[in-house]
Amino acid sequence: MPKLPECDQCQLYSLTPHLVCAIHPSGPATDECWDFAPNAAATITTEDEELWFPGTASYIEELIPESHSRLTQEEQLELLETHPLFTGRCPQCGYTFSEGEMPAVHWDCPCCGWVDESI
């Protein structure tokens, strides 16, 4: 994944080895990123050193150890493969949500009645 040296110092940086940022998940396509937003809290001592991020935790406004995570890794992977937020389709009947009806929170299916209980 191509990542620029300044990615580690950007507000959009994901702090995960799997994604660079929300705007450019695989890294910027060019040698310069037009979406770079300096993060004053990110301090790097050398050019090659990345911000520390433990592989067994997640970060949502604070560091959450994996042992306190609500879902197991298998459950998380299943959500990624089946949840309408990621697939755009109902996991039960295959109903396709159009872009205009994509909800922000509850992904209940209007066709078969499937109810999103992942929250």
Q: pLDDT tens-digit profile of 66-77?
A: 554 577 888 888
DSSP result, the chain: ----GGGGGBTTB-SSSS-SBSS-TT--SSSS-TT--B-TT---SSTTPPPP--TTEEESSSEEEGGG-SS-HHHHHHHHHH-HHHHSB-TTT-PBPPGGG--SS----TTT-------
Among candidate residues 74, 70, 73, 51, the one with its CA nearest the CA of residue 118? 70
- Sort residue 17 into left (φ over 0), alpha (ψ -120 to 50) or beta: alpha
- Does 1 share its domain with 33? yes
119 CB-near residues (< 8 Å, 6+ apart): 105, 106
Domain that holds residue 109: 70-119
Residues 43, 99 within the same domain: no
pTM over 0.75: no
- In the chain, the number of structural domains is 2
Band of residue 93 on the pLDDT scale cut at 50, 70, 90: very high
Q: What is the pLDDT of residue 92?
A: 92
Model confidence over 12-55: pLDDT tens digits?
Answer: 887 777 788 888 888 888 888 888 888 766 554 444 445 555 55
Residue 97 and residue 52 in one domain: no
Task: Note whether 63 and 83 are same-domain residues.
Answer: no
